Chains A and B, each alone.
Chain A
Amino acid sequence: MSLVLTEEQEILQRTARELVQSRSPVKRLRALRDDKDGDGFSRALWQEMAQLGWLGIVVPEQYGGAGMGWRDLMVVLEECGRNLVPEPITGTLVLGATAVLLGGTEAQKQAILPGVAAGERFLALAYQEPTSRYDHLRIEARAERAGAGWKLTGDKRHVLDGQVADTFVVSARTGGAPGDATGITCFLVHRDAPGVTVERQWRVDARGAATLRLDGVTVSAEAVLGGEGQGGALLERTLDRGTIALCAEMLGAMTACFEMTLDYLKTRKQFGVPIGSFQALKHRAARCFVETELARSIVMAAHEALDAGAEDAQVARLAGIAKARCTEGFLLIANEGVQMHGGIGMTDEHDVGLYLKRARTAEMQFGDAAFHRDRVARVDGY
């Protein structure tokens, strides 16, 4: 194991940075928000990402992907995170394609993954409900047998990138009660199936999310993903990968937010001197820097563990450590960013506020810091 980028990854990083900087300045997110854009991203940029191979980075070559590693995905996501790029990589690749890769049959993989890598399909993982909070087991959505297939009823929320998804991975109870570790099954559900209602949610960070209502939606037996009753474990493995990938994005965002603030400290003058010459601000800036360095180490180690095929408990542990650290680091840096920018930092016109909003949504995506610390403790047996 090595916690430095390879030469190839450095090249990938440069390419990604150039594309993100030239095609996706932070103000693009603000414009998409203000225009109430239904997609919430640019389909043209999505196609460029597909052509660069980003959308199939962790998809094996036999399914049309690039067959690269999580470390490579980390490099891309970190750069996307720097500019709060809103393209639906999380829903489609990080969660959707991962769930299919981990739980899908050969036929399901063949049917779905090439379209993901080509940028032609959009996926989303619908696992949260109004009262489930961070517990993927505490769900009420039901699937009942209907002939050879199933009939699904339920109310899903906070479905990341669900506003454009053509196919949803949906969790539902085929047994047990909310909170039980067993009795959950995942299904592949098409957006245009009768009884499916999708509505865009407008969250504080302006990133795409949706509600998904299932009113007696019938699906075939082939729609089961990962086996009947196997959904709990499949979700857990998928969400751990999603958490680790989110941390790469958070690392990029906190680093960029910190750099923006640092730049302001060097240029903004009060009392005739740059405000960055004041020790009260210097020391706090130095503490923010410490957070970025610690976060970088754990984010790299977690992605590396995925590439090395680490066992589930180890992945869960690293995901927990990474999410707890990145959450606290990003929130500190975003809060300090607004404070150190002073009045201008409170205006909608300045980018720093968008980072603060993103820090808050990222905090609660896949569980907050306390939730993940508790998971680490459980994995470690206390």
Chain B
Amino acid sequence: MSDLEAFREETRRWLDANAPAGVRTPLRSADEVCWGGRKGRYPDDVKRWLALMAERGWTAPTWPRAYGGGGLTKEQAKILGEEMGRSKLRPPLTGFGLEMIGPLILQVGTEEQKREHIPRIVRGEIRWCQGYSEPGAGSDLAGLQTRAVRDGDDYVLNGQKVWTSYGDKSDWMFILVRTDTTTKHAGITFLLMDMDVPGVSVQPIKLISGASPFCETFLTDVRVPRRNVVGEENGGWNIAKMLLRFERNMIADVFKEREDKSRLLTMARRYLPAGEGGRVGDPILRDRITQVEIDQACLDLTLARSRDRLKAGQPPGAETSIFKLYGTELNQRRRELMVQIAGPQGLGWEGPGYAPEELGLVRDWLRSRGNTIEGGTSEIQLNIIAKQVLGLPD
């Protein structure tokens, strides 16, 4: 038996023996996802699963053992993923720590930062959020104004961040601040900030779709030690760009894993009249369903083509530039079509007369309007394609 087969065998045995019953069922809602953190409240099985997996470093399978990671090779990590998939086990932990700031610290952080933060991310002790956008700095992110002024071994921060996802549930924030007001991009610094210190105040934001994970974060004379700079002072813009790329990939991934492949059709069968020979009776909505499914198939195939390129050892192609733009717009069309198929049943906000999933349709449709705004608006994506892929002049 090869080493990898032995690893698979051993992994399967361990997972079978150790995964608690409560993590063997599919997630029913986003509320059941384990994000870790000091403020999170999770069922016992979810907590036990996190602790067991974290002990082996398998919450971050490929991260170095020295910082608490699993130390697995890519091949081993793939096997672990396959075995977890085989047993339909929930991921023990998710979040910006594992997906964004952890990889970044491992790549460019100091030894001290790695020792301080990586093990706590692996164990899910700290939940991270991202402090980028400001009321005056959205698409023009580099126009951010939150000030950080040196005072001894600390920076003193004053300003306001907005669209902080899960800011109210997070423990630490990675934040972009202005350390030089005489220049734009070259005056930005990337800091790691403990949110449990005096001067940090977080307020949730209510959206057109109702409650949201987004928050506003107000900073008043907040002290952050200088050792928490990632990279160089005034060198934060390049670090931020590195991370934005992670974020765009994450968003594209979200749309690849859409909930239920045949949901449009299931809804059409339920809400629309039946036509001849078992066809959906409304030919116009039927055609719109096919349009969405066709476009989804083409997007999925383009994602597959992109992965095949990487597998074949080729650099990422120009096709990667379309994922965020097209994936978000397609999701909007899908959500809108669901509401249209539901018809009057797709208008409920709350209360009687509507099934829970019908109320969900409305919220999801409204929420999807934000998909083409967050993480770089569609217009910014088009600018990026025009400039970086097509080489059109400024």
Interface on A for B, CB 8 Å cutoff? Answer: 2-4, 262, 265-266, 273-274, 276-277, 279, 282-283, 285-287, 289-290, 293-298, 300-301, 320-321, 324-325, 370, 373-374, 376-378, 380-382
- Chain B residues with Cβ below 8 Å from A301 are 301, 304
Name the residue of chain A whose CB is nearest to the CB of B392.
A276
- Asked if A282 and B386 make an inter-chain contact with CB atoms under 8 angstroms apart, the answer reads yes
- Chain A residues with Cβ below 8 Å from B291 are 324, 373
Given contacts A3-B305, A4-B305, contact A277 B393 (CB under 8 A): yes
Q: Flag whether B1 is at the interface (Cβ < 8 A).
A: no
Q: Across chains A and B, which 9 residue pairs bring their CB atoms closest together, nearest first?
A: A3-B305, A282-B386, A297-B301, A286-B385, A294-B298, A297-B302, A276-B392, A373-B290, A286-B382
Interface string of B256-292 (1 = CB under 8 A from A): 0000000001001100000000111000001101110
- Asked if B318 and A293 make an inter-chain contact with CB atoms under 8 angstroms apart, the answer reads yes
- Chain A residues with Cβ below 8 Å from B268 are 382
- Asked if A373 and B287 make an inter-chain contact with CB atoms under 8 angstroms apart, the answer reads yes
- Asked if A377 and B290 make an inter-chain contact with CB atoms under 8 angstroms apart, the answer reads yes
Given contacts A293-B319, A300-B305, contact A325 B390 (CB under 8 A): no
Choose from B314, B319, B382 the contact partner of A282 (Cβ within 8 Å): B382
Q: How far is the CA of A286 from the CA of B309 in the complex (A)?
A: 22
Count residues of chain B with CB under 8 A from any CB of chain A: 44
- Asked if A266 and B385 make an inter-chain contact with CB atoms under 8 angstroms apart, the answer reads no
- Interface residues of A, dominant DSSP: helix
Q: Closest approach, in angstroms, between the C-beta of B5 and any C-beta of chain A?
A: 25
- Asked if A298 and B301 make an inter-chain contact with CB atoms under 8 angstroms apart, the answer reads yes
Tally of A-B residue pairs with Cβ under 8 A?
123
Interface on B for A, CB 8 Å cutoff? Answer: 265, 268-269, 278-280, 286-287, 289-291, 293-295, 297-299, 301-302, 304-305, 308-309, 311-312, 314, 318-319, 322, 325-326, 379, 381-383, 385-387, 389-394
Given contacts A266-B393, A289-B385, contact A374 B290 (CB under 8 A): yes
Residue among B290, B309, B381, B394 having the largest count of chain A Cβ atoms under 10 Å: B290
Q: How far is the CA of A3 from the CA of B301 in the complex (A)?
A: 8
- Asked if B309 and A4 make an inter-chain contact with CB atoms under 8 angstroms apart, the answer reads yes
Given contacts A2-B311, A4-B314, contact A297 B390 (CB under 8 A): no
- Asked if A382 and B305 make an inter-chain contact with CB atoms under 8 angstroms apart, the answer reads no
- Chain B residues with Cβ below 8 Å from A325 are 294-295, 298
- Chain A residues with Cβ below 8 Å from B387 are 282
- Asked if A262 and B390 make an inter-chain contact with CB atoms under 8 angstroms apart, the answer reads yes
